[in-house]
Structure formats: structure tokens, C-alpha cells
Structure 1
Amino acid sequence: METVLRPAAVIGGSLVVTLLAGWLLDLLLRRADARHPETPLWGLLRRCRLPFQVVLCTSLLRGSYRATRIFPHHAFVVGRILTLVLIASAAWLAVHIATAIVDSTYARYAAVARDDARLRRVRTQVTLIQRVVTAVVVVVAAAAMLLTFPPMRTVGASMLASAGVLGIVAGIAAQSSLGNLFAGLQIAFGDTVRIGDTVVVDKEWGTVEEITLTFLTVRTWDERRITMPVSYFTSKPYENWSRGGAQMTGTVFWHLDHSAPVDLMRDRLQEILKEVPEWDGRGSGLVVTDTTPHTVEVRALVTAKDADDLWTARCAVRERLISWLVTHHPYALPRVTTSEAATRPRSGTGSDFRLRPDGYAV
């Protein structure tokens, strides 16, 4: 009878204490969250209830499993398993606590921040800090779990003798990974590119969607994702349209006939821009920028608050002005001349040639 009651009492008592402690912790965090609505920290810490209960239950069982006298011949193995579970659950709890603190800090800052560019920079830094902390905790936990095995300690001691050679070899092998790691930290704290920035890389326009310690993801306008190592942004040139402010100036080009009514086009451009909500009103203009034997190049300038609105404004101006020319001034559109070429006049005083009605000499 004792062989049944003793294990049931130890295991059951550990579970009851764990459940009560988890309920009490959740109750205290809920009350703290209600008293301090200015910070989401206490509400975020409620996510730590499950890892906290696992840590507590494993600790209680680790300290009392010998009293249960279950599998006495395998007590060492059971103790080793509980130790490994305890280390893993403690790392799980540490990651949740660190994540709650980081998310709470960012949420409080975002609630009072007015500068969108600075907010995106802080978001990038916070995300990378969170990933670094998670990686460090996982590595430390894995090392601690390996060191619980005595053979691993012996191997570690023997490896220290050749640590210099192994360090050189590992450094050469992990050169690319380490380069990306330091590049990620440089991006986070150097403020060169941030989550939400509009960039042009390899002739692809998109928005930075995710930045990790090793790679960066750009979401293009057609919903594709371009993934590239973060070292690209520290070693090669790229365009960052959000740097120094999101406002942008764009151009729209037309190739028209030499008879195009440029003055009327300027007036029509202003009328069109007043009907385009994406135009921010900062500037506009229309000029002839180039000429060829057959056409003239006309350029319009439009401004917008960001790259997305600029693209929409440029498309609207291009489409509406072309429609206006087709409807009211079709002669301004480029055309191919198919009339006969003028003949070269014969030498003389000019009385030996005449002009045709269309103006060509014969």
C-alpha cells in the first residue's frame, strides 16, 4: 500500500502546488495589470504562467523523486531526465520574460513617439535585441544540458588544449555567418535601414518587412519576398527612399509632337493634381526636357508623402493627361511622316524650281 500512496502523495502534491502557484501568479499579474494600465508589462508576463509551472513542477519532482522509491534502480536516469527538463524549462521561462520586457518597452515608447522614422528604428533594434537574447539563452541552456553528462566534461577539458587551432578553423568556417551577425548588429544600431523602409535593391522596389541577425526580407510591390543576407546592406550601395523622411518627388515623361500645346498642358496638369488625393501639394511643374527630329520630351514633376502615394499620383497624371490630349489635342501625339521627301533644288538663281502646294520644292 505504501508503494502506491507514497508516489501518489509526492507526485500529486507537486502537481497541486504547481497549479496553485500558477493560479496565484496569474491572479497577482492580473491585478497588477489593472492597477498599471500605462504599461503592458504585467499583461505580457501572464504568458509566462505555463513555463513557470513547468519549472516549479520539475523542481519539486527533482528534489523529491527519490522519496517516491519509483524505479530505484533507475534513479540516476530519472534524475538526469528531470535535470534536463528543468534546464530547458528555465530557458523557456527566461525567453518569455525577456520577450515581455522588450515588448513592453517598445509598446510604451510607441505610445508616445511622434516620429515615424525613429519609431521604426527602435522597432528594428528591439527586434534584433530580442533575437540576440533568445539565441544566447538557447546556447547557454544547450551547453548546460551537455555539461550534465560527465563524458562531455572530459571532452571539453581535452578540447581546451587545442582551443587556439579550433578557434582559427571555426573562425574561417563561420566567416560568412559571423559577418552576417555583425552586419545585423551594425544595421540595428547604425540606423542604416529599418523595418518599414522603402528600398531599391538589385533594381527591385519594395518595403523592408523583416530583419534578423543573418538575413533581411524585402516585400516587393507585387507581394513577392526577396531574402538576402544583411551583409549586402553593409557592403553594397542601395537606395533607401525612407531615409531622411518619406516625402518624395517623382517624374512623368511623354514623347509628343513638336506642335504639342505645352502651356495648355501646364494648366491641365494643375487641374489634374487638384483631383488626385495622393498629391501633397508641395510642388509640381511641366517643362520640355529634350527634343528629337520627330518628337519632344515633356516632363512633369509631382510630389507625395511617400513612395506608394507617389506611384499612384504618377500613374494618374500620366493616364489623365494622355486622355486629355487624345480628346482635345490629337495632333500633339507623336506620328510618323509618310509624305515624299523634298528634292534638292538645282543650282541657280532660284527661278529654275517651284514649290508644290504642300510646301516641298520640285
Structure 2
Amino acid sequence: MPAVVLGLAFLIGVLAFRLVFGLLTRAVAKRDLFWRSLVSRTRRPLRMGLVVFFLAIGVAVAPLDAAWRELAQHALLIAFIILVAWVVYTALNIWTTVRLRKFSLDAEDNFLARKHVTQSRILVRLTGWLLLIVTISAILMTFPGVRQWGVSLLASAGAAGIVVGFAFQPVLKNLIAGIQLAITQPIRIDDAVIVEGEWGWIEEITGTYVVIKIWDWRRLIVPLSYFIEQPFQNWTRDGSSLIGGVLLYLDHCADIGRIRDKMNEICRESELWDGNVCHLQVNDFRERVMEIRILASARNAPRTYDLRCEIREKLITWIQREMPEALPRTRETVSVDAANSVTAPGIEVVGG
């Protein structure tokens, strides 16, 4: 008889779930993707909540003896604790989705999007770990023996705390580093960084490590604590725009004015240039060549790299065609001993 009552309560819970979920699905069928995904995400917690609710009613009315009733109530209490944690985590994910709907990482100027996405993802993962720890602790505390053990442990918390601290030092270090990253944000999703001599983008930030997508599609896995303890370069810390540099080595007789005019023309015609920085300067003089540095800006790191390549290719092609004398040349002075010696064509006699 008790098994029949509990089985009936379980079936009623499943049927109630199907009815409620069907009504919700029909209500959002003609709405946008967000509402449909919202109902889909709450499917499993809703089913578990209704089943636990009707099972609690079944346990209350079923003719169970004291031992079985206590066991069933204990199992329902554990299920309720799991359900509360599940609902909290689901609500946090839904809130994060709602908050991030107005931001797009695909935008050219995605500084604010990277800031909010990074902060939200780190906080969601940290909250998930904390919820897991609290849930397991709450479940264990429902057992009288474990509760008594916990009280005894608290009585000797001094020595135990030191031992646990040393044992979980890497975990605690990454946990604290995750909180610091979420608040101070030295890195964000899609930041262009140089770590361990490798240039790439921040692709993913988890609760314990960071995934960096290297320019050649390799992945560099770095612990969270690295970005708190070690120096690294962040090219897009305060904005997505970057200035790219191009170095040319030309002969001293190169016409700088004409080269500067051509460079400005290339920048104006390029779809990659953001209209801010486009400069040419003679950066250095050497024995055989002079170093020319070109600076140009673009909206993000990939466009900056492509703009540098475009300027370099178009400018060197124009110099080869229009100003070949500007290409590096080697000059030598030849001393001719005999007065009537014949010099090779192209060699100029200096000093008689």
C-alpha cells in the first residue's frame, strides 16, 4: 500500500510537469529565441520540483512506519537541497543571458562587451563552485554523524585549518585569482595579449585556467594565478583600437615626401584604417640605409595586422615601380693605380 501511494504521487508529479511544461512551451512558441531557450533551461528543475512536491505529499499521507517515514523525509530533504542549488544556478545563468543580450563580441568596437562578458563568466563559474561546496556541505550536515564530526573539527580548527590550507593551496590560489580577475579585469575575453612570448587572444576564462588562442590556432593553457603574479602584455586593455608599425629600410637618397604622400593615399583607400593614426617618420640612420617607421591604426588587433601587411605590400610595390633608386644599394670607392687603366662601366672615378 505505501509503495502504491508513493508511485501514484510520482506519476502525478510527472503528469503535472508535462501539463505545466506544455502550457509554457505553447505560451512562448511564437516569441523570440530567448524565451524559448528560457523555458527549455527550466525544464529539468521544474520536473524535479514538481516530483519532489508530490512525493512529499505522498510520504505525508502514506501509511509508513516511523523508520521508513524518517528515511523518506531525509531523502526528500536531500532532493530539496539539490533542487534549491539547481534553481539558483539556473537563475544565475538566465540572469547572465539577459544581461549579455545587449552586448556583442562580434562588433568592431567590442570593449564594453568584452568587459561584461568576462566579468559575468568568471562570476558564474565561481558561484557554481561555491554552490557545489555549499550544497555538499548542507547534504552532509543532514546526517547526524557527519554533523557531530563537523562540530569536533571546528573545536580543533586551528591546526586543521593550517593543514587544509596547505593541501588546497593551488585551488584557493586560483579561486582568489578568479575573484581578483572579475573585479580588476587585467584580462578580458577577446583581449590581444603576449604571454610567454606567444601572441594571441583570450578565448576562454574558466574557474581555474585561461585558454589563449595563438595566432596559428594553437591553444596556450595558463592558470588563473599567472595573470596576478606574472607580467604579461595586454594590447587591448583600455580599448580595442591598436596602432601597428611597419619598418622599411631604404637608401639615403629616397624621397621621403613622395613616400609619405603615397602612404597617406594607401591609408585613405584602405577599408581597414580607422581614420585616426597614419604617420611616417625617419626613425634611424645607419651606414648603408635609413630606417623608416610607419604607424597606422585600426579598430582591433586582426584588422591592425592586416593593415600593416597591406601598407607594406603596396608601398614596396610602388617603390619598386616608381622609385627604384630608393631601394638599398651598396656603394664602394675603388682606387685605380695605373693612369691608363680602364674602369668597368658604372664605376665613377673620384678625385681624378
TM-score past 0.5 threshold: yes
- Say which SS state the counterpart of residue 210 (structure 1) adopts: strand
2:7 maps to 1:11: yes
1:359 corresponds to which of 343, 349, 352: 349
2:294 maps to 1:303: no
Partners of 1:275 and 1:151 lie apart in 2 by 77
Partners of 1:311 and 1:264 lie apart in 2 by 24
Correspondence 1:104-183 to 2 at 5 A? 104-107=98-101, 110=103, 116-183=110-177
Q: 1:118 to 1:138 in 2, by over 3 A?
A: same
1:125-156 deviation line (CA, Å, top 9, x unaligned): 22222222222221122122323434323322
Letter in 2 for 1:12: L
Q: 1:174 to 1:343 in 2, by over 3 A?
A: farther
Partners of 1:283 and 1:156 lie apart in 2 by 64
Q: 1:258 to 1:34 in 2, by over 3 A?
A: same
2:214 corresponds to which of 215, 220, 227: 220
Structure 1 runs (4+) greater than 6 angstroms displaced: 34-37, 66-79, 354-357
1:190-218 deviation line (CA, Å, top 9, x unaligned): 23322222222223222222223332222
Paired-residue identity, %: 32
1:10-65 deviation line (CA, Å, top 9, x unaligned): 4134223332245325635864x69998x957962552122221233134335535
Q: 1:105 to 1:326 in 2, by over 3 A?
A: closer
Q: 1:91 to 1:19 in 2, by over 3 A?
A: farther
Partners of 1:358 and 1:133 lie apart in 2 by 80
1:203 corresponds to which of 186, 194, 197: 197
The structure showing larger relative contact order (alpha-carbon pairs under 8 Å, at least 6 residues apart) is 2
2:310 corresponds to which of 304, 308, 316: 316
Determine the structure 1 residue equivalent to 2:284: 290
Do the aligned partners of 1:179 and 1:231 also contact (CA within 8 Å) in 2? yes
Do the aligned partners of 1:45 and 1:97 also contact (CA within 8 Å) in 2? no
- How many residues in Structure 1 have an aligned counterpart in Structure 2? 346
- Say which SS state the counterpart of residue 136 (structure 2) adopts: helix
2:240 maps to 1:246: yes
Partners of 2:155 and 2:183 lie apart in 1 by 37
Partners of 2:264 and 2:91 lie apart in 1 by 56
- Say which SS state the counterpart of residue 280 (structure 1) adopts: coil
How far the C-alpha of 1:318 sits from its partner, in A, is 0.7
Letter in 2 for 1:18: V
How far the C-alpha of 1:72 sits from its partner, in A, is 11
How far the C-alpha of 1:254 sits from its partner, in A, is 1.1
TM-score, normalised with respect to structure 2: 0.81
Determine the structure 1 residue equivalent to 2:19: 23
Determine the structure 1 residue equivalent to 2:90: 96
RMSD: 3.8
Structure 1 residues not aligned, in runs of 5+? 345-351
- Say which SS state the counterpart of residue 281 (structure 1) adopts: coil
- Say which SS state the counterpart of residue 114 (structure 2) adopts: helix
Partners of 1:98 and 1:30 lie apart in 2 by 24
Structure 2 residues not aligned, in runs of 5+? none
